Structure 1
Amino acid sequence: MAITSGFNKDLLAGVSRLHFIGIGGSGMFPLVQILASKGYTITGSDVNEGTIIDSERAMGIHVYMGHAAENVLGADMVVYSAAIHEDNPELQEADMRGIPCVERSVMLGYVSRLYPRSICVAGTHGKTTTTSLITTMLELAGRDPAAVIGGKLPLIHGYGKAGNGQNIVVEACEFAETFLRLAPSVSVILNIDNDHLDCYGTMGNLKMAFRKFALLASHTVVVNADDENTMQVMNSIDRDVRTFGIRKHADYKAENVREYKPGFYEFDVLEFGEPYAHIKMGAPGYHNIYNALAMTACVPLVGLCPSDAEAAAANFTGAGRRFEIKGEVNGAMVVDDYAHHPTEVGATLKTARELTTGTLWAVHQPFTYSRTRALLREFAEVLSRADRVVLTPIMGSREVDDGSVKSEDLAALIPGAIVVESLDAAAQYIKENAKEGDLVITMGCGDVYKAADRMIQE
C-alpha cells in the first residue's frame, strides 16, 4: 500500500513518445490531453471503443483495439492504469525491451507539477463535484485551468482539459495512497469516512494518509470544520489552514440556508464573520452546500472575487454521474449517481426524496465484496429510506468473489428489496413497475448507469 518511490523530476527526460495502456479510461484522458499539449507523441490501446477514444482519435492519437506486444514498439515510456495486470502482453513486452513503465498515479503526480498553482481536492465524498466547481469557477473567470476530474464536466466537454493558465485542479483519490504523489499548492479536504479500509486496515491509518496529504500543501489547506475526522487530522498541523462549514465556527460559514425550490439551496457566506458572498446552487442537494463552501474558500487563494464563486455555483448543474438526470420511463424521472458508500447513498436518497412525491426507487449495484461485507448493515439502513429497492449482483472489480457475501445478504436486511440477475433485468423490472410521478435512481461506481440508459430507451 505504501508508496515506495518519490517524485522524479527527470521522469520524462529523453521521452518523446508515450504509450498508454487503457487509454480509453476517464482517468487517463486528461493526462493524454495535457501531455499532448506539451508536445509529446501519444499512442494507446484499450479493449473497448468509446466516446473518449473517439475524442483521442480526433486529436490525432493512434489507438489500438486490443492489447498486443507490438503496440509498444517505438515507445519511450509506457503509462498504465491500475486496472492493468502484470501479465498484460504490452507490459511484459515493455519490460523485456527495457522501456520504463509507470502507473497512472505516478504520471498524474508529475503532471501536477507542470503548473505552478495546483489545487488538489481530497475527501471520501464530494471530490468530483468540488473539483468540478473549482474548475468551473476558474474557467468562467477566464483563467483557462488544466483539470483532472473523476466525472464528466459539461462545461469543458470531458473529464479534464489541458489549460494554458497557471492553475491545475486535480481530484485527489486516497485509494492506496495515490494522492500522496501529488504536489498541491492548495490541499482541500472535504471529509474523511470509513472507506478503502481494505487498503488501510484501520481508520487511524486512513487519517494518517490524509494528514500526509495536508502536509504536501505548499501554501494552504482548506478543510471542513464540521467533519470531526478531518479536524482531528488537522490538530497542530504546520500549515496555513482555512476552514468552511455550516454548524461549527469556520472561516467561511454558510448562514441563512434555505430551499429556493425543492432540493435546491441558496445561502449567504460569511468570511471571518463578515458578509462575503451569496451562493445560489444550480445543482440539487443539501450536501452540495459543503462542496460550494470549499470552492468559495479557495477564491482568495487563486486571486478571484466572491462574484466568481457565485457565478460558478449558479452555472454548475452537476458533473456526470453526480445526480445526473437521464430521462424518463413511464413518466418517472430517471437519475444516475456515483454513490457507493452509505454516507453518499444516504445523501443522494435525501436529495431524491425532496424532488418527488411519488415512489422513490433505488437501483443499487454494490461495489466490491470487502466494502459490501464491512458496511452491510450501514448500506441496509440507508437503502431502506427508499420506497422500493432493487439490487444487482455485487461488482467485484479488483476483488475475487470468495462467496462470503452476496447481494441477497443485503436484500435480507431491507424490507421488500429484491435482487435481479443483471443490469438488463433491473431495467426491465423498472419498466414494468415504475409509474408517472415516481423517481428512479441508479447508484454505484460500477456500470449501473447502463441500467439507467436502458430504462429510458424506446
Structure 2
Amino acid sequence: MALGAKKIHFIGIGGIGISALAKFLRAQGAEVSGSDIAEGCVTKELKQMGIKVSIPHTKEAICKQDLVIHSAIIKPDNIELQTAHEQGIPVLSRKESLKMILGDKEVFAVAGAHGKSTTTAILSAILKDASALIGAESKEFHSNTRALKSNRVVFEADESDKSFLECNPSCAIVTNAEPEHMETYAHDLRQFHKAYKDFLNLARICIFNAEDSFLGTLKDLKKPCIRLYPSQDLREISYFCENGIPKTRFHLVCEGKDYGTFQVYGLGEHIAIDAALAVLAAAQVIPLEEISKNIQNYCGIKKRFDFLTHGKCTIIDDYAHHPTEIATTLKALKTYQNLNSIKPLTAIWQPHKYSRVIDNLQGFVECFTGVDKLVILPVYAVGENAIPLDFESLFARYTPIFADCVVREGETLLLKKDNQTLERLDNGIVVGFNAGNLTYALRGGI
C-alpha cells in the first residue's frame, strides 16, 4: 500500500514513537488522524499542527480510513480497533507498520540499550536534510520528529519489542548491547544477542561500539562494518563550558582514517562515543567539513542531561532509569562540578518498575556512589504489582531521604512527605533520574 495519499488513523497517537510516525506520514502527504485516552503535550502539539485527535477513544473516530495503526499498549477490546475490524479496515501495530512506512527509504537506524536517543539526535543534526524520528524531543527542532519529503531518514530503532528488525536499515548503528527488556526475549541472552546480530545483518553497512562485551565478539557479520574502539580511537578528549553550555571535544581516528576534531554539546566520554558513531555514519554520505559544521546544530534532547536552571541551584532532568545510565550521567556531572566549582551534588531517584529494580538491584545500590545526598521516591510501577523492597536497608550507606514527591518552587525544589516539607533543595546541583512523572515536577508541572 502506497501511503502518500491515504487516510491513516493512529490509535494511541500521544505516544512518543507512534506520534513520530504520524508526523512523518503527514509530511509524505497522508491524511492523518488519531486518538488517545487522555490529553497530553504530544496530542496538543499534534492538534496545533492541524491533525484531528479524538480524546478519549471513540468509535466515531473510525470513518472509513485506508489504514489504522495502533501503539503496542492498545488492547484487542479497544473500541476503535473493534470498529476498524467491523468496517474491514486494515489494522497494523506500530511494529508491523514500520516495514511499510520505511520500506523504500534510506534509513540510518540507531539501536542500543543506552545512548540511542542522543546518537540519533546528533546524527539528525548532522544530516540536516534528512527526516528524523527520535524517541525523545530534540531541542534543535523542539519535537521528536523532523518530517521532510527527503528519502533519507534518521530513525531511533527500538529493541524493546524487536521492532528494530522491521525498520529496513541501510546503515545500522549500535551504541551498545547491554541486556534490557529481556521479557521480550524470554529472558534468553542468546535470543537477545541474535536479534542484534540480525539487525546488523539487515543493513548495507554496520557501525558499532566494538568495546561492548557482545558487539566486540562479532567477527562473522555478512555486511561491511566499521568498528569503533573508543579507548584507542577517541583521542584528546576534553571538556569545557562555553557561556555556561557544557561541551566535549575529541579527535577521531578509526580503522586508520583520521576524521579530525569535533566538539559537541554535552559532557562525558559517553557523549564522545555517541557523537563519534554519528560522525562515522554521516561520513558515508556527506563530507567531513560539513559534518564538523552541522554537528554544532545539536543542542541536546529533552530529559537527557537536561539543564532546567542555571544558578545557585542547577536543576537537571535525566531519563536514566538503569544503573549504567545513572552512573554515566553522574560521572559527567562530576566533571561539570569540577569545571564550575559547584557543590553539593544531590540525586533524586524515582525507581522505574519493580521488575527493573529487582533485575538490576546491586547495580542500583552501587551506581549512586559519590553523590552528596540521595533522595528516593516511590517506585513508578507502570502497572506492575508492588513487590516488597527494603530500600532503607539496601541503600543505608547513602543515608537517603525518602520523600513522596517533589515540588518546584521558583529555582528550588521542595521534598514532600505526608504533605509536609522535609527539606528545601536550593543550592548546588540537583539531578532527577526518572522515566516516570518526576520530569513534570522538576519542571514545575509543565
TM-score (norm 2): 0.89
The percent of aligned pairs where both chains have the same amino acid is 27
Determine the C-alpha separation between the residues in 1 that align with 2:201 and 2:394. Answer: 42
Distance 1:107 1:428, change over 3 A: same
Partner residue in 2 for 1:259: 239
Determine the C-alpha separation between the residues in 1 that align with 2:126 and 2:206. Answer: 19
Structure 1, 377-386 or 55-64: larger mean CA deviation = 55-64
Distance 1:406 1:110, change over 3 A: farther
Instruction: Give aligned pairs, total.
Output: 430
Match of 2:328 among 347, 351, 367: 347
1:206-245 pair list within 5 angstroms: 206-217=192-203, 219-232=204-217, 234-245=218-229
Determine the C-alpha separation between the residues in 2 that align with 1:63 and 1:404. Answer: 37
Partner residue in 1 for 2:282: 299
Partner residue in 2 for 1:447: 437
Q: CA deviation at 1:106?
A: 2.1
Q: CA deviation at 1:61?
A: 1.6
Match of 1:196 among 174, 181, 184: 181
Partner residue in 1 for 2:306: 324
Partner residue in 2 for 1:7: none
Partner residue in 1 for 2:295: 313
Report if the CA contact (8 A) 1:195-1:341 is conserved: no
Q: Secondary structure at the match of 2:127?
A: helix
Determine the C-alpha separation between the residues in 2 that align with 1:421 and 1:83. Answer: 28
Determine the C-alpha separation between the residues in 2 that align with 1:299 and 1:11. Answer: 28
Q: CA deviation at 1:285?
A: 2.2
Q: Secondary structure at the match of 2:169?
A: coil
> Is the counterpart of residue 59 in structure 1 residue 49 in structure 2?
yes
Q: CA deviation at 1:202?
A: 2.8
1:39-438 pair list within 5 angstroms: 39-115=29-105, 117-139=106-128, 144-200=129-185, 201-217=187-203, 219-232=204-217, 234-248=218-232, 253-261=233-241, 264-302=247-285, 304-327=286-309, 331-356=312-337, 357-397=342-382, 399-401=383-385, 403-406=386-389, 408=391, 412-424=395-407, 427-429=413-415, 432-436=423-427, 438=428
Determine the C-alpha separation between the residues in 1 that align with 2:331 and 2:164. Answer: 30
Q: CA deviation at 1:118?
A: 1.0
Structure with greater strand share of residues: 2
Determine the C-alpha separation between the residues in 1 that align with 2:440 and 2:281. Answer: 35
Report if the CA contact (8 A) 1:411-1:418 is conserved: no
Report if the CA contact (8 A) 1:376-1:410 is conserved: no
Determine the C-alpha separation between the residues in 2 that align with 1:155 and 1:101. Answer: 34
Per-residue displacement from partner, 1:13-49 (whole Å, max 9, x unpaired)?
Answer: 9x82111111122212221122112222111112333
Distance 1:257 1:155, change over 3 A: same
Determine the C-alpha separation between the residues in 1 that align with 2:404 and 2:344. Answer: 23
Determine the C-alpha separation between the residues in 2 that align with 1:95 and 1:269. Answer: 53
Report if the CA contact (8 A) 1:47-1:65 is conserved: yes
Q: CA deviation at 1:317?
A: 2.3
Q: CA deviation at 1:207?
A: 1.0
Q: Aligned partner of 1:215: which letter?
A: N
Determine the C-alpha separation between the residues in 2 that align with 1:199 and 1:284. Answer: 32
Q: Aligned partner of 1:240: which letter?
A: P
Determine the C-alpha separation between the residues in 1 that align with 2:437 and 2:102. Answer: 29
Distance 1:406 1:111, change over 3 A: farther
Report if the CA contact (8 A) 2:303-2:319 is conserved: yes
Report if the CA contact (8 A) 1:21-1:79 is conserved: yes
Runs of 4+ that moved beyond 6 A: none
Report if the CA contact (8 A) 1:442-1:452 is conserved: yes
Distance 1:72 1:411, change over 3 A: farther
Report if the CA contact (8 A) 2:69-2:94 is conserved: yes
Structure 1, 335-344 or 90-99: larger mean CA deviation = 90-99
Per-residue displacement from partner, 1:53-105 (whole Å, max 9, x unpaired)?
Answer: 23322332211111112221322321111122222221222233332221112
Q: Secondary structure at the match of 1:155?
A: coil
Report if the CA contact (8 A) 1:245-1:293 is conserved: no
Report if the CA contact (8 A) 1:17-1:42 is conserved: yes
Partner residue in 2 for 1:5: none
Aligned CA-pair RMSD = 2.5
Q: Aligned partner of 2:167: which letter?
A: L
Identify unmatched segments of 5+ residues in structure 2. Answer: none
Q: CA deviation at 1:272?
A: 3.3
Q: Aligned partner of 1:257: which letter?
A: I
Determine the C-alpha separation between the residues in 2 that align with 1:453 and 1:306. Answer: 38
